[in-house]
Amino acid sequence: MVSDALSRLHRRLLTARHSDTALAVGLFVLIGLGSLRSLIGPSDEPWSAVVISWLLIAASCGALRFRRQRPVAVAVLVLVACAAYYLTSTYDGPLLVVAVVALYTVAAEGHLTAAVTLGAVAVGSTALGTLAGNDDVTGVALFMLTGWIVGIVALGRLRHNRLIYTRQVQRRAVSEERLRIARDLHDVIGHHISLINVQSSAALRRLTRHPDTGAAQAEQALAAIKDSSREALRDLRATLGVLRQAGESAPTAPAPGLARIDDLARSARGAGLDVRVESAGERHALPAEVDLAAYRIVQESLTNVTRHARAAAVVIRIDQRPGALHVEIEDDGHGPTPGSHGTGISGMRERARALGGALSTGPGVHGGFTVRATLPYTPPTATGP
């Protein structure tokens, strides 16, 4: 993944360099066409001045090749070259376009103070020339130049703000995806490892206390460990499928959902819990994100019961109503101890909130601990024949 990110960055840099080179060449052709008067027909200035003018044009356009790497330095160079060009050349070509592009780049790259300063210097120098008797730049032309510079700096600033916003959105999306993957890994690994820990402890205890008769019971626990580890590997492969490289095949295992609640209950029974599943309400297909969230909430709740509750029985209630799925997990344990659930409950609550729902936890009616989640969704619409 790191190599892919570096290669993408390298490709973006190459694309930017190619586009800057194309811009420099294109502007040189455009300004050259606008300055052909100095090469065609009778010349009003010595050839040495003509050569210097074309060198200044080439230097200004060529500097744009590095406008992203050194925006302020390029803008200073371009403005100095433009000033020298308009002071020494009799033919006023469109070299001002290069200065406009350079100032825009300075603002677009986030150097607003430098852009405003350079723009003010350009306008101030032109105004001093007008006051000194330069008839080529009138007051109207000076006013228009000021408007152009202010407008181009403002456009560059808007572009910079837009880039910042886009990067923030991308970073937020990456953070949310990372959090989702971490939550899935926590639920998958935590659930199965907890069951394996409980079952292995039971097997060791039976073999230690009853070396003659405990072998059969230990064999059952080891079989349950085998099943739990197989389930863990399957769920782990499905979860890590979102991290696969480009070109790799997608995972073929079905996505976890309420259709696999019986598998969760069977695994918990292997750890010594009496698990009962009660269903009510309508029975129709749920959106994938709601189905997965409900499954993970039940999974994490059973994990917490196995780890901390010291419970003997658990009741899982699934109530599917129009527009909302209600999930409740109630155990008969002694309730949670402070800090015993780690990030499990917060992860379940984040899942519910991500779907616009809510999750609450607290003591049960008859003791123990209860987790209640409401997951809203858009019910399927009826279709015609």
Token pair listed for 293: 């969230």
- Tens digit of each residue's pLDDT (9 = 90 or more) over 194-206: 777 777 777 777 7
Sign of CA dihedral 330, 332, 337, 340: negative
Q: Are 24 and 61 in contact (CB under 8 A)?
A: yes
The residue type at 142: L
Q: Please state whether the predicted TM-score (pTM) of the whole model is above 0.75.
A: no
Bigger pLDDT: 9 vs 303 = 303
Pairing of strands 369-376, 324-331: antiparallel
Say which residue, 139 or 301, is predicted with more confidence. Answer: 301
CA angle 226, 229, 235 (to 5 degrees): 140
pLDDT value at residue 238? 67
What the block records as the tokens of 265 is 């209950």
- How far apart CA 67 and CA 24 sit, in angstroms, is 10
**Using 50, 70 and 90 to split pLDDT, how confident is the model at 217?**
low
Q: What is the pLDDT of residues 308-323, one digit of tens each?
A: 767 888 999 999 888 8
Residue 327 has what pLDDT?
Answer: 92
CATH superfamily name and code, 174-242+254-376: Histidine kinase-like ATPase, C-terminal domain (3.30.565.10)
pLDDT tens digits along 257-291: 888 888 888 888 877 788 889 888 877 788 888 88
Domain ranges of the chain: 2-137, 174-242+254-376
